C-alpha cells in the first residue's frame, strides 16, 4: 500500500478532490485500504455545498462494500466510538456534519481502541 499525501489539485468547477482515511480497524470495512482518494461533487442534489454529512452517506452507499453498515453509521449518524477529524482537528471544532468540504481536505475516521 502506498501512502502519500494528496497532490494539491485545483478544484474543477464541479468536483472537489479530498483524501479520506480510516484507522483503528475501520479500514476493514473499506476494502482494507486506509487511504481513499476521492473526487466528490462540489454541490449536492439540492445545490448546496457538500458537507461531511453528505460524505458519510456517500461512503456508506458508494464506497463501502462490507454489508455491516451499522459498524459505520447508526441512526443516520457516525456510530458512537468513531471520531471524525477534519485536517487533524476534531470535527466538533469545525461544525461536525455541517462542515462544508474544501479542496484537498483530509477527513480521518478513527475507531476507538479499547485493548490494553
Partner 1 sequence: MESANASAAALRAKIAATEERLKLLKAQLANIEEKEAEEVEESPVTRKWPLLPDEYKRYGRQMIVPSVGIQGQLRLKDASVLIVGAGGLGCPSSAYLAGAGVGTIGIVDGDIVETSNLHRQILHNSSTVGMKKVDSIVSYLKSLNPHLKYITHPTHLTPQNAAEIVSQYELVLDCTDHPTSRYLISDTCILLQKPLVSASALRRDGQLIVLNSPPLPAGDAKGGPCYRCVFPKPPPTDSVVSCGDGGILGPVVGVMGVLQALEGIKLIVEGRLKEEQEVDGRGNTMLLFSASGSPQFRSLKMRARSSKCVACSGNAELTLEKLPGMDYAVFCGIASPIGILKPEERIEAKEYLELEQDSEKTHVLLDVREKVQFDICSLENSINIPSSSFQGTRSSSLQEGKPSWLPETVRADASIYVICRLGNDSQIVTQKLKEAGLDNNGKRAIKDIRGGLKAWKEQVNPSWPEY
The CB-of-87 to partner 1 minimum distance in angstroms stands at 9
Q: Which is nearer to partner 1, 48 or 89 (CB)?
A: 89
C-alpha 80: how far from chain center: 16
By the 10 Å C-beta count (0-12 exposed, 13-18 middle, 19+ buried), 78 is classed as buried
Whether 97 and 52 have beta carbons less than 8 Å apart is answered as yes
Whether 19 and 105 have beta carbons less than 8 Å apart is answered as yes
Q: Which is nearer to partner 1, 48 or 61 (CB)?
A: 61
The CB-of-13 to partner 1 minimum distance in angstroms stands at 32
Binding site for partner 1 (CB under 8 A): 1, 3, 23-25, 28, 34, 65-68, 70-71, 74, 79-81, 83, 85, 88-90, 92-93, 108, 110-116
Whether 79 and 71 have beta carbons less than 8 Å apart is answered as yes
Q: Which is nearer to partner 1, 7 or 114 (CB)?
A: 114
Amino acid at each position: 500500500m502506498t501512502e502519500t499525501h494528496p497532490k494539491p489539485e485545483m478544484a474543477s468547477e464541479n468536483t472537489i478532490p479530498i483524501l479520506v482515511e480510516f484507522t483503528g480497524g475501520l479500514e476493514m470495512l473499506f476494502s482494507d485500504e486506509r487511504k481513499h482518494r476521492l473526487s466528490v461533487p462540489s454541490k449536492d442534489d439540492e445545490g448546496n455545498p457538500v458537507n461531511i454529512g453528505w460524505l458519510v452517506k456517500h461512503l456508506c452507499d458508494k464506497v463501502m462494500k462490507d454489508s455491516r453498515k451499522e459498524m459505520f453509521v447508526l441512526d443516520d449518524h457516525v456510530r458512537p466510538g468513531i471520531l471524525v477529524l477534519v485536517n487533524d482537528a476534531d470535527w466538533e471544532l469545525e461544525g461536525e456534519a455541517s462542515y462544508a468540504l474544501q479542496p484537498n481536505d483530509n477527513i480521518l475516521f478513527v475507531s476507538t481502541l479499547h485493548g490494553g
